[in-house]
Structure 1
C-alpha cells in the first residue's frame, strides 16, 4: 500500500482555543473544508490523551468525508489510536528515524524546519514534507526565541529540499499570502512552496468557509501564474529573449501609456527631494501624491498606479510599512529605493523590517546600496555615496540579487544595470551633471515607479480577462524599469546639451523641462542598451 499523493495547497492546523465565541470546533472545521482546505493537522498541546484521541477520531470522520488527509501533531500514541494519513513532528519532538519505526513506511511524516541544516536533515531522514517557518511573528505559537525567516529566508530553505514538498507557516494571513508565495521562490532552483499552513486566519474567523476560500484562491492563482510564466519579477512575462531594439521599442511605447492614463504615483520619499520628485512625475505625464500617514496610505492604495518607497530620511516608517503591504494587497508595483542602506545599522535594520512586511517589484539603488543588500564588500558606502573601485562584474551582482529578492534590480551609476534574475541589461545614457545635483538618483526611482505603473496598465489593457486574478502584481516590469531609466537619462542628455545650461543650477531646471519635452522618438534614437551574457 503506497503513500497517497497530497495536495498541500491549503494546510489547516487546528487550534480550538482560537475559535470565536459561540463557534463549534467541528462546525468550523467542516466549513473550512468546504472552503478549500486540502490538509488538516490536529494540534492539541494541552489536552489529555483520551480527549485528544476522541477529537482526532471525530476530526478524521469529517476529513474523510471530504477526502482530505489528516495529520496528528507530535503524538505517536494518538496517531496509532486513530491511524490517519500521517504524523507531524517538530525539532524537539521524537526523532524522525524513531517516528518512522513506530508509524510504519506507509504513513506520511512531516517535519518542522527553520533553517537550511534542519531542512537537509529532514530530507536525508526521509521526511515526506516539511513545514518551513516561522515566516513571521505569530500569536498561535511561541516563536519569540527563533529568528523569523521572512519569505526570502524560506526561499533559501527551499533550495535544499530536493523535491520534498513544503508548506510555510507562521503569521500567514490573506494580506501577506501573495508576498510570501512570490518572495519565497528559491534563488537557485527557482522552486516554490507547495502550500501555506494557517491557523488563526481560518480558525478565528466567524466565516471559515470564506476565509479558506480566499486563501485557497491566492495559492491557486500563484500556481497558475507559475505555469503560464505570468508572475512577479523573474516571472514577469519576459518569456523569450529580446533584442535591445525590441526592449527599446517596448520602453518607448510605455511613454504614450503614461500620458494617456496619467497614473497616480504614490511616493513616500525623503524630504530633500519631495518637490523635485513631484515635478518630475508631473513632467512625464503622471500625477504625484506624497501622503505619508498610515491611515492615509491605506485608503489611497486602491487608486494608485504604483508606489515608491524611498527611505532617505526614514521619517515615515509606519506609513512605509502600511503602504507597501497595501500595495501588495491591491497588486500595485512597489519600487524600493533603500538610500544609504549600508551606511548605518539603523538603516540596515529598517530595510530588513520593510522587506519582511512587503514584496518589492523593483529595487533601485547605487552600487553601495545594491552592494549592501547583496552583502558584498566590493563597494563601500559613505553616507549616500558609493566609494571604491566598483564591482568586478556588476551584471552578475544585479542578477544574483534579483533572484534572491524576486524583484527587478536596478543599479544606477556611470552605466546602469537592470536584471529580473534571468535577463541582464546595461544602459549607457546620462551625463556627468547628474552627479552634482541633489536627488538625481531619487528622481530616477520616481520615473521608474511611473513607468512600472504604465507597464501594469498596459498588461491589464491587453489581458482584461485576468485583471481580477490574485497575483501579486502584473505587467512586464523589466521593461517598466528600463523605460524609467532611459527616459530620465535621455532627458538629462537633452538638458545638458541646451545652450542655457551653465552648471548644476540651470541643469536642474532644464532637466524638468526636458522630462516634459522628451518623446518616444528621442528614446528610439538615443537609447544605448545591451543585453549581457552573465
Structure 2
C-alpha cells in the first residue's frame, strides 16, 4: 500500500505541468520493469505523472496505482489517474484526467475532495470553453500530431498547431492551465512550444509525453532532454505575441535610420559569409533563383529529395520552401522539420495558396509540421492564409489589395508567430508588433516571371547570413539573429536593384530588365542601400 504522506497540490498556482508524463506500460523496452522505468523518469525530473490503463480490471489497476503513488511520493511528484475516479479515491491520487466520453466534469467534482485536480482532454475550442465553465484545473490540448499511443483515426482527432492556438485563445484570462499532447517528442518540442500560442501570446504551461520517455532505453536522459528544452524556452520567451524567436529587439527600439543601417550592413555580411541557401522552389524560377543567390553573395543549392534534408539542415544558412509547382511535398516536410531542429531560418512562400483547395490543405500540412521564420506572399496569398476574402486570387496573382495592410500583416504575424511580408507595389512586413513599409521597386518587377519567388530567395539569403552572424546561442530559440531586419534587407536588396536596373540605358522592357537586375544585385553596396532605401516604421 502507498505511503500516507500528504501529496495534496494546491489547485492552479502550484500545479507544475511542464513535463507531464503519461504512462504506457505496453511501450516499455523489452526486459524493463514498469517501476524501474518510472523511477528513472522521475530522476529526470518529470513534474507530474498520469497513470493511463485502459484495459485493466479494478484490482490490478489499483495495485499499479498504489505502487506508483509510493514511488512518486518519494520524489514529491503528484499523480493523476486517467478516467477512473474510484481508483483516484482509493489510492489518494492528486486528481483525475477525463476524456470527452468519460464521466461528466461536474459529477467528478462532486465526488472528489475539494482539493482534487481535474484535467480534461479537448480537441476543439468549444470543448475547451465547456471545460473552463465546468471548473477544470487544466486541459490537455490535442492530439497535436498523429500518434501511435492513441487512436486518432477519427476526423478531427488531430487538431494540429492551429487547433491548439484556437483553444489557447479560449483559455486566455481564465486561469485554466494547458498542456499539449499527441506525438510530442524531443525533435518537435521547441517548435511546438513556440508555435502553440494564441495570437496575443498566451502559451502552453507544459507538454504531455508518452513514448519519447516510456519507450526510451534511458528514460532519465529522455526526460532531462525534454525538461531542459522546456526550461530554456520558458526562460527565453518574452511577453508579447512573438517573444524570443524572430527578434532580439525590445518593442520601441526600431527606428527608421537604425533599420536602414542594419539592412545596409547585411549586404556586406552576406558577401563575407556566403551562406548556403537551400531552396525547394518553383520549377519555373530555379535558374533565376540560383543566379539571384549568387549575385547577392550566397551559395545556392536546389535539393528536393527527402533523404537529403537531414544533412543539408546541418549546414548553416537559410532555407526557402516555395510550393509554386507542388511536386516535392515529402522533401518540403522533412526540410522544414530538420531546419527547425538545427536552428536554421525557414522562409515560406505559399505561391497561389488561395487558388485551389489542394494548395490550402498543403499549406496547413506544412505549417503543422514546422515553424516558419518568415512567411511572404502577395495580397491574395496573405489573404488566403488570414482567411480573408478581401483580395481575390487569379491563379498565382492577386486582384486588388487590403484596406488596412499594416493590420493584416501584424495580425497574421501574431497568429503564426513569425515575420510576415506582404509584397506588392508597397511592401509591408511585421513581427506582430512593429510594421515596416518599404516603397522601393519598379513596375518591371511585375512583368518578369517569378519576381515574387526571387524575393523569397533574397530574403532566405539574408536570413541565412544573419543567423550565421549571430553571436553565441540563444537557448530556447528556434533561430538566432534578427530576422525582421534580415527580411527588410532582402526586400530592399531586390527592390533597390530593380530601380537601378530599370534606369539603365540598355533596358527596354522585361526581356532586357532581368539580366540587368542580376547585374545590379551583384553590384549592390551598403552605400547604395543607405542612399536609396524608402522606409517608414509604425510601432503598435
TM-score category (smaller protein): over 0.9
**Distance in 1 between residues matched to 2:162 and 2:233, nearest whole Å:** 17
After the TM superposition, which residues 32-43 of structure 1 pair with which residues of structure 2 at under 5 Å, given as runs?
A: 32-43=41-52
Q: Quote the offset at 1:231 in angstroms.
A: 7.0
Structure 2 partner of 1:108: 117
Kept in 1, the 8 Å contact 2:199–2:241? The answer is no
Kept in 2, the 8 Å contact 1:338–1:364? The answer is yes
After the TM superposition, which residues 364-403 of structure 1 pair with which residues of structure 2 at under 5 Å, given as runs?
A: 364-387=376-399, 389-403=400-414
**Distance in 2 between residues matched to 1:495 and 1:509, nearest whole Å:** 9
**Distance in 1 between residues matched to 2:34 and 2:233, nearest whole Å:** 30
After the TM superposition, which residues 37-436 of structure 1 pair with which residues of structure 2 at under 5 Å, given as runs?
A: 37-147=46-156, 148-161=158-171, 162-188=174-200, 190-227=201-238, 236-241=247-252, 242-387=254-399, 389-436=400-447
Kept in 2, the 8 Å contact 1:231–1:472? The answer is no
Once the two structures are superposed, residues 220-258 of structure 1 have per-residue CA deviations (whole angstroms, 9 ceiling, x without a partner) of 111011148897677622313211111111111212221
Kept in 2, the 8 Å contact 1:266–1:304? The answer is no
SS class of match (1:175): coil
| TM-score of the two chains, using structure 1 as the length reference | 0.96
**Distance in 1 between residues matched to 2:311 and 2:481, nearest whole Å:** 23
**Distance in 2 between residues matched to 1:157 and 1:478, nearest whole Å:** 28
Kept in 2, the 8 Å contact 1:312–1:340? The answer is yes
Kept in 2, the 8 Å contact 1:231–1:473? The answer is no
Once the two structures are superposed, residues 261-295 of structure 1 have per-residue CA deviations (whole angstroms, 9 ceiling, x without a partner) of 11111000011110110110011111111111111
SS class of match (2:115): coil
Structure 2 partner of 1:513: 519
SS class of match (2:188): helix
Number of residue pairs matched by the alignment: 527
Kept in 2, the 8 Å contact 1:399–1:419? The answer is yes
SS class of match (1:240): coil
Q: 1:313 to 1:477 in 2, by over 3 A?
A: same
**Distance in 2 between residues matched to 1:407 and 1:63, nearest whole Å:** 40
**Structure 2 unaligned residues grouped into runs of 5+:** 1-7
**Distance in 1 between residues matched to 2:84 and 2:482, nearest whole Å:** 49
**Distance in 2 between residues matched to 1:156 and 1:506, nearest whole Å:** 49
Structure 1 partner of 2:10: 3
**Distance in 1 between residues matched to 2:243 and 2:457, nearest whole Å:** 20
**Distance in 2 between residues matched to 1:219 and 1:132, nearest whole Å:** 17
Structure 2 partner of 1:452: 463
Once the two structures are superposed, residues 96-119 of structure 1 have per-residue CA deviations (whole angstroms, 9 ceiling, x without a partner) of 111011112111111111111111
**Distance in 2 between residues matched to 1:294 and 1:115, nearest whole Å:** 33
SS class of match (2:187): helix
SS class of match (1:98): helix
Q: Quote the offset at 1:348 in angstroms.
A: 1.0
**Distance in 1 between residues matched to 2:178 and 2:502, nearest whole Å:** 54
Once the two structures are superposed, residues 410-449 of structure 1 have per-residue CA deviations (whole angstroms, 9 ceiling, x without a partner) of 0100000101111111110000000110011100000101
Q: 1:275 to 1:253 in 2, by over 3 A?
A: same
Q: Quote the offset at 1:163 in angstroms.
A: 2.4
Correspondence for 1:489 among 474, 492, 495: 495
SS class of match (1:303): coil
Kept in 1, the 8 Å contact 2:242–2:432? The answer is no
| TM-score of the two chains, using structure 2 as the length reference | 0.95
SS class of match (2:170): coil
Q: 1:228 to 1:302 in 2, by over 3 A?
A: farther
**Distance in 1 between residues matched to 2:319 and 2:123, nearest whole Å:** 32
Q: Quote the offset at 1:533 in angstroms.
A: 5.3
Q: Quote the offset at 1:77 in angstroms.
A: 0.8
Runs of 4+ deviating beyond 6 Å = 228-234
Kept in 2, the 8 Å contact 1:265–1:449? The answer is yes
SS class of match (1:273): helix
**Distance in 2 between residues matched to 1:154 and 1:233, nearest whole Å:** 20
